[in-house]
Chain A
Amino acid sequence: MRDQLDVVPDAILAGRAADGDTAAFESLARRYGPHMRAAARRLTGSYADADDVVQEVLVQAWQQLDTLREPAAVKGWLLRLTGSRSIDLLRRRRNHASLAAADGDAPADTVSPEAGPEAAAVAGAGLESLKAALSALPEEQRRCWILKEINGQSYEEIARTLNISPASVRGRLARARTTLVREMEDWR
């Protein structure tokens, strides 16, 4: 049965999970957990935080699954929850940090001193230079870019997640992309 659950469409699993079937819910979690973890880690900067986020999202998803109007859209819903929870965690952490010490957010990939353009050119140039450029972006632009490109969220969804207007999302995304393109093309 477990094998069968792993091959059925999302809507079947989401429908069963909303009815209280924990096995179907766990199958959904296994199916989209890696994407949720990857997105949360890219946003929060660590797997420890990402795993906390994924767990919080799954608890919330279990409680709210019966409110999901379109069960087939469960993947996007889980990723939106993941984005929101990750942003919440970053805000909590910043509030905490500003009380204790001005530490700031830790991006997922800080550039180590020796990892300059030369190192990047050797090891998958595009990917490494993108990671470095991304970690150097202003925080709000970085969040917009990740929610768009890694979480696959729409402008309106990103706007709701970040509590800004869709026009601001458009602007920040464009500025993020401009900077990323420039950084990456400088390194080619």
Chain B
Amino acid sequence: MSMPNDTFECGHTIEELSLYLDTGEFPDPAHLESCPECRNGLDSLRRLAAAGGELFASDLAAAGSGNDDWMKDILANLALELRPGRSIPLRSDDPADTLSETEGSILALVRSVADSLPGAVAGKVRLDGDVTVPGSPVAVRLDLAVLFGHALMPSAASLRQDLAEALARHTELNIAAIDITITDVIEAPREEK
């Protein structure tokens, strides 16, 4: 039996070894090199950790893929509510009319313009400024992922141009700046880490 109940003859405990495996912390690291009991205990715990990894891999495989019916059913039941964000006033010809558009619809517009650029995928979009007051300056800040093999700088420049045109056409915002941050360059199809 390689695992005693609690404390080894050297005075160290399984709890200490267990913690050491998770955190690398141990009161007397040099001791682990020389103590056969502790080394056996660590070996056993490492084999258990490997078996735990196997169990996880097997459970993950058994759970199926995110494209399977169980996930489709879950997604179909979610009924995600919209996120309108702030209400952005629009000019109207008739003073009796109150017109507005939602911040959420403008974020969606920015995303769709960015996504339509080959190799680009929009991330977080922010409208910095008081969009609820007509004419106040607004800075658009956009995170962007670019697929590997697409030129970064021309992408950003032409995207800024496209965004300025789309925002001028679909909104009355006073766009003071469009800041694009390329947060990621995507190299290859990715899987769960």
Contacts and interface: CB of A to CB of B under 8 A. Distances in A.
Interface stretch (A83-91, A98-106, A179-187): A179-187
Interface in A156-188: 170-171, 173-174, 177-178, 180-182, 184-185
Interface residues of A, number: 62
B18 interface: yes
B65 interface: yes
A30 B51 contact: no
A148 B2 CA distance: 23
Nearest to A36: B63
Interface string B34-73: 0000000000110111011111101110111111001101
Contacts of A59: 78
Interface in B162-188: 183-184, 186, 188
Given A59-B78, A178-B5, A1 B115 contact: yes
Contacts, number: 177
A50 B71 CA distance: 11
Contact of B18 (A29, A130, A170): A170
B108 A21 contact: yes
Given A20-B107, A51-B70, A55-B78, A4 B121 contact: yes
Contacts of B147: 4, 7
Given A1-B115, A34-B66, A178-B3, A131 B55 contact: yes
B126 to A, nearest CB: 9
Contacts of B58: 127
A31 B192 contact: yes
Contacts of A21: 108, 111
A149 B56 contact: yes
Contacts of B62: 38
A33 B71 contact: yes
Interface of A: 1, 4-9, 11-12, 15-16, 18-22, 25-26, 29-35, 37-39, 41-42, 47, 50-51, 54-55, 58-59, 62, 66, 71, 75, 126-127, 130-131, 134, 145, 148-150, 155, 170-171, 173-174, 177-178, 180-182, 184-185
18 contacts: A9-B190, A12-B184, A20-B82, A20-B85, A20-B104, A29-B74, A30-B67, A31-B192, A37-B63, A38-B59, A130-B51, A134-B55, A174-B14, A177-B14, A181-B44, A181-B45, A181-B48, A184-B48
Given A19-B124, A33-B66, A75-B192, 7 more contacts: A8-B121, A12-B184, A16-B124, A39-B59, A181-B44, A184-B47, A185-B44
